[in-house]
C-alpha cells in the first residue's frame, strides 16, 4: 500500500512513525518547507542563539532511511481525488491512502503594504530566515497582533536589543483566551521588558519606503505613524488549505473530518492544524491548532489507515507556553470570561509574576480547570483530578501532589486554600505532604 503524507510537521511525522510501527506500507512524506522535520515551537530559540538550527531537528538524519520513510522536498500544487494523483513540483505521484497534514499559515487581512519587503509572519522556516536577514542594523520593529506568537516575536527582537512596538486589537493582551487578571499580568510583564505595548489599536497600513520595503506603520484609530524597519504579522493563523478550495474536498475553516479523521474523499485523512472536526466534543473547538493535538491526531489517523478503527479523543484540554519569562500552563476549562456555572479562586504572588487559578463547578463543587502562571503543576496529576471530576476540596487538600518542583517553588498551597475557605465559608486544611513517592502512589491509585 502506498501512503503519502503531505506535511512534515508534528502531525504528519507522528502519523508516519505510527504507520511504520503498525505495518510495512510504502510511506512518503512531502514538504516544500524543509527536507527534515523540525520543532516549530522552538523556532525562537534558534534566532535567540540558544539552539543551533540543526538542534531543532528531533530526529537524526539517518532515522528516515532506517525506518523506510521517504522524504520528498516538493510542493503539491493540486490533488485529483478521483484518480488519486498529486501534481507536485517533482512530478505526478499516485497514492492509495493520503494524509493531509498541511498546517497553518500566518493571517493577513488585506492590509495595504502587507506584501512589502521587511514584512513577515512567524510560522514557517522561511519566516525565521526573513527575520534573520533583516535584523542586522534593525532599530525598531512593529508587531501586529498579540497572542502567543506575537509575544515570541517580541522576545526574539528584544534579545537582540531591537526596539519593539506591539499593536494589539484587544483592550488587554490575549484577553479572548486569558482571564482578566492573567491578561493584566502579561500586560505589565510585556511593558517591563521595554516593549511599547499599544492596546485597543488596529493596523491601518504599512508604508512603502519607495523601494518596495516597509518603512513605517500607520495606526487606524489615531493615524499615528510608527517608523520601523520590520513589520511582524502575528494576528493569528489559519489552515493552509487555499489550493484545495475548488477540489470537492469538504472544507470549512479547515478540512472537515469525522471522528476518525477521515475527509469526505475516499482514503483521504486530515490531521493537525489544517483539520477541522465536524463534530467536536462539547466545550472544544473544531480546530485546535497546537502541538499536542497534532501529535494525537497523527497517531489516531495511522491506526485508522491501518484498519484499526479508533475515534480521535482529544483528552483533557492542555496547553503550555511562555510569555517572556513567565511560564504558562492550562489544564481543563479556563475560559476568558467565567460562565454562570463556574466559580474560581485566583491567587497571585506579591511579585506580580506568579499566579494560580483553580476553577470548579459552582454548585456541584468539582474541579474544572487550572491556569498557572510562573508556577508549574504536574500534568498527570491535574489530568487525573479533572478526568475524575474530583471534588475541589479534595484537590485543594492534596495540592502538594500537583506541585512540580517543591524544591524550586515556594509552598503556595496554604494561601490558595485560605482563599477558598474565605470564599466558601469552609475550614479545610492541606492534607497530603509533598514527595514523589506520594505522587506515584496517587497516580497508581
Ligand atoms: C512560533 C510558534 C510557536 C508555537 N508554540 C507553541 C507552543 O508553545 N505550544 C503548542 O502547543 N503549539 C505551539 N505552536 C503551534 C504548533 O507549532 C502547531 O500547532 C504545529 O506545529 C502544527 O503542526 P502540523 O503538523 O499541523 O503542521 P505544520 O507544522 O505546519 O506542518 C505542515 C507542513 O506542510 C507543508 N505544506 C503545506 N502545504 C503544502 C503543499 N501544498 N505542498 C508541500 N508541503 C506543504 C508546510 O510547509 C509545513 O511544512 C507554535 C507555533 C508557532 C509558529
Q: In whole numbers, what is the pLDDT of the chain averaged over residues?
A: 95
Clarify whether residues 27 and 98 are in a common domain: yes
Sign of CA dihedral 237, 176, 293, 251: negative
For 432, the domain range is: 318-444
- Report the candidate in 101, 23, 16, 25 with the shortest Cα–Cα distance to residue 63: 16
348 sits in the region (left: phi over 0; alpha: psi -120 to 50; else beta) called: beta
What whole-number distance in Å separates Cα of residue 164 and Cα of residue 276? 34
Domain boundary among 305, 332, 360: 305
Clarify whether residues 36 and 147 are in a common domain: no
Q: Is residue 313 part of a domain?
A: no
At residue 431 the predicted structure's pLDDT band, cuts being 50, 70 and 90, is confident
Clarify whether residues 223 and 146 are in a common domain: yes
Q: What is the mean pLDDT of residues 206-224?
A: 98
Residue 380 belongs to domain with CATH number = 3.30.390.30
Clarify whether residues 326 and 411 are in a common domain: yes
Clarify whether residues 329 and 422 are in a common domain: yes
Q: pLDDT, tens digit, for every residue of 394-409?
A: 999 998 888 876 665 5
> Given the CA of residue 237, which atom of ligand 1 is nearest to it?
53
Q: How many CB atoms lie within 10 A of CB 84?
A: 19
> Given the CA of residue 43, which atom of ligand 1 is nearest to it?
1
Q: Is residue 149 part of a domain?
A: yes
Clarify whether residues 397 and 382 are in a common domain: yes
Indicate whether 158 pLDDT > 70: yes
Q: pLDDT, tens digit, for every residue of 277-315?
A: 999 998 899 999 999 999 999 999 999 999 999 999 999
Model pTM score: 0.94
Domain boundary among 212, 235, 258: 235
For the chain, state the CA radius of gyration. 24
Residue 347 Cα to ligand 1 midpoint, Å, equals 34
The binding-site residues of ligand 1, defined as CB within 6 angstroms of any ligand atom, are 6-12, 30-33, 40-41, 43, 75-76, 101-104, 122-123, 148-149, 152, 240, 243, 272-273, 289-292, 294, 319, 321
Q: Is residue 364 part of a domain?
A: yes
Q: Is residue 423 part of a domain?
A: yes
Clarify whether residues 137 and 215 are in a common domain: yes
145 sits in the region (left: phi over 0; alpha: psi -120 to 50; else beta) called: left
Domain boundary among 235, 255, 281: 235
Q: Is residue 196 part of a domain?
A: yes
Residue 387 Cα to ligand 1 midpoint, Å, equals 28
Q: What is the mean pLDDT of residues 246-265?
A: 96
283 sits in the region (left: phi over 0; alpha: psi -120 to 50; else beta) called: left
What is the model's pLDDT at position 436? 74
Task: Count the domains in the chain.
Answer: 3
Residue 40 Cα to ligand 1 midpoint, Å, equals 6
Residue 250 Cα to ligand 1 midpoint, Å, equals 21
> Given the CA of residue 152, which atom of ligand 1 is nearest to it?
1
Residue 15 belongs to domain with CATH number = 3.50.50.60
Spatial neighbors of 19 by CB under 8 A, at least 6 apart, are 3, 25, 27, 302, 305, 306
Q: Which residue has the higher pLDDT, 433 or 384?
A: 384
Is the separation of the CB atoms in 207 and 214 below 8 Å?
A: yes
Amino acid at each position: 500500500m502506498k501512503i503519502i503524507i503531505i506535511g512534515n510537521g508534528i502531525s504528519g511525522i507522528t502519523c508516519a512513525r505510527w504507520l511504520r510501527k503498525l505495518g510495512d506500507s510504502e510511506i512518503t512524506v512531502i514538504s516544500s518547507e524543509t527536507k527534515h522535520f523540525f520543532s516549530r515551537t522552538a523556532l525562537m530559540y534558534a534566532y535567540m542563539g540558544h539552539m543551533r538550527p540543526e538542534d531543532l531537528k528531533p530526529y537524526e538524519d539517518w532515522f528516515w532511511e532506517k525506518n523506510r520513510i521517504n522524504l520528498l522536498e516538493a510542493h503539491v500544487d493540486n490533488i485529483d481525488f478521483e484518480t488519486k494523483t498529486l501534481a507536485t513540483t517533482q512530478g505526478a505521484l499516485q497514492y492509495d491512502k493520503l494524509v493531509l497534514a498541511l498546517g497553518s499559515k500566518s493571517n493577513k487581512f488585506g492590509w495595504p503594504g502587507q506584501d512589502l519587503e521587511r514584512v513577515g509572519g512567524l510560522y514557517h522556516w522561511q519566516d525565521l530566515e526573513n527575520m534573520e536577514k533583516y535584523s542586522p542594523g534593525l532599530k525598531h520593529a512593529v508587531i501586529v497582533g498579540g497572542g502567543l506568537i506575537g509575544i515570541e516575536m517580541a522576545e526574539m527582537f528584544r534579545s537582540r536589543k531591537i526596539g519593539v512596538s506591539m499593536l494589539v486589537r484587544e483592550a488587554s493582551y490575549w484577553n479572548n483566551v486569558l482571564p482578566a487578571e492573567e491578561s493584566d499580568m502579561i500586560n505589565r510583564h510585556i511593558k517591563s521588558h521595554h516593549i511599547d505595548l499599544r492596546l485597543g489599536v488596529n493596523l491601518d497600513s504599512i508604508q512603502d519606503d519607495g523601494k518596495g520595503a516597509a518603512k513605517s506603520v500607520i495606526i487606524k484609530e489615531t493615524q499615528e505613524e510608527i517608523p520601523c524597519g520590520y513589520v511582524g504579522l502575528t494576528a493569528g493563523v489559519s489552515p493552509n488549505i487555499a489550493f484545495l478550495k475548488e477540489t470537492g474536498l469538504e472544507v470549512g475553516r479547515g478540512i472537515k473530518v469525522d471522528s476518525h479523521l477521515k475527509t469526505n474523499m475516499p482514503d483521504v485523512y486530515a490531521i493537525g492544524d489544517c483539520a477541522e472536526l465536524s463534530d467536536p466534543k462539547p466545550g472544544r473547538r473544531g480546530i485546535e491548532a497546537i502541538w499536542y493535538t497534532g501529535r494525537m491526531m497523527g497517531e489516531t489517523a495511522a491506526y485508522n489507515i491501518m484498519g484499526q478503527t479508533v475515534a480521535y479523543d482529544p483528552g483533557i484540554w492542555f496547553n503550555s507556553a511562555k510569555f517572556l519569562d513567565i511560564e504558562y500552563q492550562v489544564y481543563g476549562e479556563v475560559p476568558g470570561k467565567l460562565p454562570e456555572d463556574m466559580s474560581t479562586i485566583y491567587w497571585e504572588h506579591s511579585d506580580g509574576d506568579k499566579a494560580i487559578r483553580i476553577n470548579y463547578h459552582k454548585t456541584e463543587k468539582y474541579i474544572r480547570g487550572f491556569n498557572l502562571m510562573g508556577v508549574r503543576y504536574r500534568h498527570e496529576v491535574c489530568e487525573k483530578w479533572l478526568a475524575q471530576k474530583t471534588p475541589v476540596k479534595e484537590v485543594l487538600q492534596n495540592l502538594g501532589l500537583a506541585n512540580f518542583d517543591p524544591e524550586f517553588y515556594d509552598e503556595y498551597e496554604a494561601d490558595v486554600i485560605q482563599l477558598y475557605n474565605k470564599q466558601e465559608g469552609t475550614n479545610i486544611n492541606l492534607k497530603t505532604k509533598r514527595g514523589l513517592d506520594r505522587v506515584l502512589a496517587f497516580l497508581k491509585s
